[in-house]
């Protein structure tokens, strides 16, 4: 049912057992005759001519978006279906999901304070009771409408098979019940269960995220085997470590035992952190300082665990993920072919009413004029429509056979290669000469060299003035240099517009980037002149207008540095990397969504478990002396501890700070500091939370991200070996995930398409 622009979920790609016997009794030709031999057997719900065209339009839209065609096909349902998948409703639903997720920043504990450091944080703004609850109930009503509409469109039989919709009902119901409890308690409810439910609304609205979860589920057995081996490796070295670094008689030689191997939980956590290299070489220094031979233990542990087992885990996830991509693309092709085939069949039914001779013989074809009517009504990108209509108009006999009809939609697998508008024609020889010069490739090289020189000048002045305060700086020379380069950029932009014309200039992405930054630089420079006059020696950079002179010059310099990125498309390898990053942005929606869900759930759990667990010293002045004596023990200033490093802003006191803390742990640098602090202030069981987050984020999601980068980059690298710079830049427009696996996927056969059409719950073509 859902739009799947790139990766799609698996559907049953073969014949169902209950239909195999029936299909084996006849030839492929017999299967076709069962639903297309004559007009009287072509019975579609609603049966009028316009309905056939309307059905064909929707089926082709399903094919374009890789959606399932198993939905109602009567006239009213089709109108509702198109409205449901309209841009207005889908954007509205996405906005609703975003709003309900963002409520966590406003609800208690609110994130509305300028700092998360408990030593300096003022009391945050708390919303009045009913404000966030009112917004939330509106969102829940929209979700209920979405659920009702989707359930109606697919019908009861399909609804019973869809576990996501059943869970959708439970999620909305549980949220409403919890919302009612909150209001009945006058918004004084600390444990809001519906917070954990909210990420589900994001998941269920994206087929890509659902299938990514299925991929993770399918990959878990292989990952579990490696994690089990990793756990065995960890336990084995933990026991060996406890034996090696047991407490001795000499207190001076017990540094390793006291800090890292005092007991089993401490030993396990020390080596687990070493597995991530976060505490290397700190963990071995006490023992290594006594005997260099102890380093062998730590080198063997990290060498085998970090460099062998962890990389093996990455390889397994990559291999499984690639298989998931291939299977998803295979299912995508089936859905597209099935949608096109369904459109062809209903259009064949529509055509038979106008061709009496055709109804008497078994010839599958559709009328050209009907195809043109359908394509005019389909919602699709204009260049796809124009390409398909152009091919249809080239057919001269008035009818289109199935193979020709199917091949029309091969255009959907191609992306537009931008054709630049023709250059303007000038009568003046001078203008013609300027046009020839400033449309040449070498002008771009000169422009890049000038941009590099500009950045080098800024860098030189920054180095020379790095030790000076703002009052001691003299920005006269920097401003003169900037004025010179900005005038050059303005001249370059003007002459390029002259050479290419407005439309031609704007048809290049580099020119748009350059032009916007040049206009911004010009406006900023005019503002500086209007506020502080022309540059002169001993210009005081601390002068203030709307902004200080130094702030405005800094802003100009930052824009100039950003403008230097224009060189990226002109270097082949950099263009390749940049196009890979662009593709990642387009293809990472599912993984970014999964990451948002995981961050959201762990942040909510962190608030429930650890909110207020760590209190800054300045907040405890009201405590009694005895309480202070007990808690001062926790506020250790040991080197490398949470308190000594000043990590106070990293806490679970509100949703925003929880997200930042989880990100810091995902990066794994010093993540043991947070785990140690919350272990001291709460219980040893808090380690379970932090280790679970490390496994989920750093091990699982980061490896999936690496797999996606590898797949995309390797494909582009293989293609770029014989490509020019322009071809590499264009690759980002031509490549789709389907094309990446084109050589490995198989086209669905006629029998498979027929089988799927026979199983349609609402389209009765026989």
CATH number of the CATH domain containing 458: 1.20.120
**Residue 138 resides in a domain:** yes
Regarding whether 597 and 508 lie in a shared domain, the answer is no
pLDDT of 166 reads: 93
- Residues 611 and 711 both lie in one domain: yes
Q: What band does 545 get if pLDDT is binned at 50, 70 and 90?
A: low
Looking at the predicted structure, is the pLDDT value of residue 328 above 80?
A: no
Residue 6 main-chain phi, psi, to 5 deg: -125, -70
**447 plus 489 within the same structural domain:** yes
Q: pLDDT class for 705, splitting at 50, 70, 90?
A: confident
The reply to whether 550 and 608 lie within a common domain is no
Q: Is the pLDDT of residue 660 over 90?
A: yes
In a shared domain, residues 592 and 532? no
Output the six-digit token pair for 385: 């429509």
CA dihedral 191, 195, 196, 200 (to 10 degrees): 160
- Give Cα separations from 289 to 29, 292, 648 (angstroms): 83, 7, 32
Are 66 and 142 found together in one domain? yes
For residues 454 and 564, membership in a common domain is answered with yes
DSSP string, 376-445: HHS---HHHHHHHHHHHHT--SSEEEHHHHHHHGGGGGS-----PPPPPP-SSHHHHHHHHHHTSHHHHH
What percent of the chain has a predicted confidence (pLDDT) above 90? 23
Instruction: Give pLDDT, residue 476.
Output: 67
Tokens encoding 248: 């001795």
Q: What is the pLDDT of residues 99-112, one digit of tens each?
A: 999 999 999 888 88
Give the position of tokens 């085997």: 225
Q: Is the pLDDT of residue 197 over 90?
A: yes
pLDDT at residue number 607 = 94
Spatial CA neighbour of 481 closest among 493, 491, 472, 489: 489
Q: Are strands 365-367 and 399-401 parallel, antiparallel or unpaired?
A: antiparallel
Could you tell me which residue, 332 or 628, shows the higher pLDDT?
Answer: 332
Predicted pLDDT of residue 435: 84
Taking all residues of the chain, what is their mean pLDDT, rounded to a whole number? Answer: 78
Residues 197 and 165 in one domain: yes
Kindly indicate the confidence band of residue 22, based on its pLDDT and cuts at 50, 70 and 90: very low
Using left for φ > 0, alpha for ψ between -120 and 50, and beta otherwise, residue 623 falls in: beta
Quick: pLDDT tens for 406-461. Answer: 888 887 776 666 677 888 888 888 888 888 888 887 887 888 888 888 888 888 87
55 within some domain: yes
Please report which confidence band the pLDDT of residue 97 belongs to, taking 50, 70 and 90 as the band edges: very high
Residue 16 has pLDDT above 60, yes or no: no
pLDDT bin (cut points 50, 70, 90) of residue 11 is: very low
- Please give the average per-residue pLDDT across 470-498, as a whole number: 80
Lowest mean pLDDT segment, chosen from 14-18, 269-273, 364-368: 14-18
Residues 6+ apart with CB under 8 A from 1: 67, 68, 70, 71, 150, 153, 154
Which range has the top average pLDDT, 114-118, 334-338, 483-487, 656-660?
Answer: 656-660
Residue 236 confidence class, pLDDT cut points 50, 70, 90: very high
On whether residue 299 sits in a domain, the answer given is no
Cβ proximity of 297 and 240 under 8 Å: yes
Q: Domain for residue 403, yes or no?
A: no
Residue 449 tokens, joined: 């060299």
The per-residue pLDDT for range 668-702, each reduced to its tens digit, is: 888 989 999 999 899 888 999 999 999 888 888 88
pLDDT (0 to 100) of residue 755: 84
Which three-class secondary structure state does DSSP give residue 365? strand
Distance of CA 646 to the CA centre of its chain: 33
Long-range Cβ contacts of 569-577 (<8 Å, 24+ apart):
569/509, 569/510, 569/725, 569/729, 570/444, 570/445, 570/448, 570/725, 571/725, 572/720, 572/723, 572/724, 572/725, 572/728, 575/725, 575/728, 575/729, 576/713, 576/716, 576/717, 576/720, 576/728, 576/731, 577/713
Whether residues 549 and 587 share a domain: the answer is: no
- Number of folded domains that form the chain: 3
Look at 71 and 557; give whichever has higher pLDDT.
71
pLDDT at 572: 56
**Structure confidence at residue 194 (pLDDT):** 93
388 vs 380: CA distance, rounded Å: 11
Provide the domain limits for residue 180: 47-214
User: Does residue 374 surpass a pLDDT of 80?
Assistant: yes
Is 561 in the same domain as 695? Answer: no
- 491 vs 150, 401, 437, 550, 705, CA distance in Å? 56, 57, 14, 26, 43
Is 370 part of a structural domain of the chain?
no
The CA-based angle 693-696-699, given to 5 degrees, is 110
Question: Does the residue 553 lie in any domain?
Answer: yes
In this predicted structure, the answer to whether residue 154 has a pLDDT above a threshold of 70 is yes
Tell me if 115 is assigned to some domain: yes
Determine, yes or no, domain membership for 248: no
132 and 169: one domain? Answer: yes
Close Cβ partners of 586 (under 8 Å, ≥ 6 residues apart):
6
The residue ranking higher by pLDDT, 175 or 725, is 175
Question: Which tens digits make up the pLDDT trace of 602-639?
Answer: 999 999 999 989 887 755 443 344 444 444 444 556 77
In this structure, the answer to whether residues 608 and 697 fall within a common structural domain is yes
What is the distance of C-alpha 304 from the center of its chain? 33
Q: What is the dihedral of CA 569, 575, 581, 583, to 10 degrees?
A: 90
pLDDT for residue 101: 95
Pick 469 or 38 by higher pLDDT.
Answer: 469
Confidence of residue 213 (pLDDT cuts 50, 70, 90): confident
Better pLDDT: 555 or 54? 54
Q: What is the pLDDT of residues 285-322, one digit of tens each?
A: 999 998 899 999 999 999 998 888 888 888 887 777 66
């Amino acid at each position: 049912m859902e739009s799947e622009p790139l990766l799609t979920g698996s559907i049953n790609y073969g014949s169902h057992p209950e239909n195999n016997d029936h299909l084996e009794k006849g030839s492929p030709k017999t299967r076709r005759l069962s639903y297309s031999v004559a007009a009287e057997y072509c019975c579609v719900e609603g049966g009028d001519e316009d309905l056939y065209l309307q059905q064909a339009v929707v089926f082709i839209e399903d094919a374009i978006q890789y959606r399932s065609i198993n939905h109602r096909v009567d006239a009213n349902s089709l109108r509702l279906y198109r409205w449901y998948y309209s841009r207005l409703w889908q954007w509205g639903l996405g906005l609703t999901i975003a709003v309900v997720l963002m409520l966590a920043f406003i609800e208690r504990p609110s994130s509305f304070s300028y700092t998360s450091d408990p030593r300096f944080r003022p009391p945050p703004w708390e919303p009045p009771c009913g404000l966030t609850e009112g917004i939330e109930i509106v969102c829940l009503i929209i979700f209920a409408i979405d659920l009702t509409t989707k359930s109606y469109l697919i019908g009861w039989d399909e609804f019973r098979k869809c576990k996501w919709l059943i869970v959708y009902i439970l999620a909305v119901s549980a949220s409403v019940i919890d919302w009612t409890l909150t209001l009945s308690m006058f918004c004084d409810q600390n444990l809001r269960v519906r917070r954990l439910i909210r990420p589900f609304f994001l998941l269920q609205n994206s087929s890509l995220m659902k299938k990514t979860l299925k991929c993770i589920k399918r990959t878990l057995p292989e990952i579990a085997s490696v994690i089990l081996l990793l756990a065995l490796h960890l336990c084995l070295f933990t026991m060996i470590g406890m034996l090696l670094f047991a407490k001795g008689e000499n207190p001076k030689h017990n540094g390793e035992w006291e800090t890292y191997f005092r007991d089993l939980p401490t030993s396990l956590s020390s080596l687990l952190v070493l597995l991530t290299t976060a505490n290397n070489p700190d963990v071995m220094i006490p023992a290594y300082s006594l005997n260099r031979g102890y380093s062998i233990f730590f080198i063997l542990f990290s060498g085998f665990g970090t460099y062998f087992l962890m990389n093996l885990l990455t390889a397994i996830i990559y291999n499984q993920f690639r298989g998931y991509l291939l299977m998803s693309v295979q299912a995508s092709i089936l859905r597209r072919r099935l949608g096109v085939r369904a459109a062809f069949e209903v259009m064949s039914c529509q055509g038979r009413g106008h061709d009496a001779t055709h109804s008497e013989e078994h010839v599958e074809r559709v009328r050209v004029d009907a195809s043109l009517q359908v394509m005019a009504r389909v919602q699709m990108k204009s260049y796809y429509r124009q390409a398909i209509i152009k091919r249809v108009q080239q057919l001269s006999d008035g009818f289109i056979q199935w193979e020709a009809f199917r091949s029309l939609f091969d255009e959907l697998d191609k992306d537009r290669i931008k054709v630049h508008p023709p250059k303007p024609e000038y009568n003046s020889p001078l203008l013609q000469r300027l046009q020839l010069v400033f449309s040449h490739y070498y002008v771009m090289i000169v422009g890049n060299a000038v941009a590099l020189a500009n950045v080098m000048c800024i860098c030189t002045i920054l180095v020379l003035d790095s030790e000076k305060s703002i009052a001691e700086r003299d920005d006269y020379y920097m401003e003169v240099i900037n004025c010179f380069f900005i005038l050059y950029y303005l001249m370059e932009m003007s002459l390029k517009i002259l050479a290419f014309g407005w439309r031609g200039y704007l048809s290049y992405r580099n020119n748009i980037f350059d032009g916007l930054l040049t206009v911004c630089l010009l406006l900023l420079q005019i503002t500086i002149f209007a506020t502080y006059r022309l540059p002169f020696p001993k210009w005081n950079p601390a002068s203030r207008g709307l902004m200080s002179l130094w702030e405005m010059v800094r802003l100009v310099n930052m824009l100039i540095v950003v403008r230097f990125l224009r060189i990226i498309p002109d270097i082949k390898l950099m263009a390749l990397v940049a196009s890979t990053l662009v593709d990642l942005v387009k293809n990472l929606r599912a993984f970014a969504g999964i990451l948002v869900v995981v961050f959201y759930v762990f942040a909510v759990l962190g608030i429930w478990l650890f909110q207020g667990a760590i209190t800054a010293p300045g907040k405890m002045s009201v405590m009694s002396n005895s309480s202070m004596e007990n808690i001062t023990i926790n506020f250790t200033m040991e080197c490398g501890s949470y308190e000594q490093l000043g990590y106070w802003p990293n806490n679970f006191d509100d949703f925003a700070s929880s997200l930042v803390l989880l990100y810091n742990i995902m990066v794994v640098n010093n993540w043991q500091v947070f785990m140690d602090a919350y272990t001291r202030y709460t219980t040893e069981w808090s380690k379970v939370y932090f280790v679970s987050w490390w496994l989920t984020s750093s091990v699982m999601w980061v490896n999936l991200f690496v797999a996606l980068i590898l797949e995309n980059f390797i494909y582009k690298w293989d293609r770029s070996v014989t490509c020019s710079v322009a071809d590499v830049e264009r690759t980002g427009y031509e490549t789709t995930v389907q094309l990446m696996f084109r050589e490995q996927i198989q086209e669905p056969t006629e029998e498979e398409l027929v089988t799927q059409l026979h199983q349609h719950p609402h389209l009765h073509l026989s």
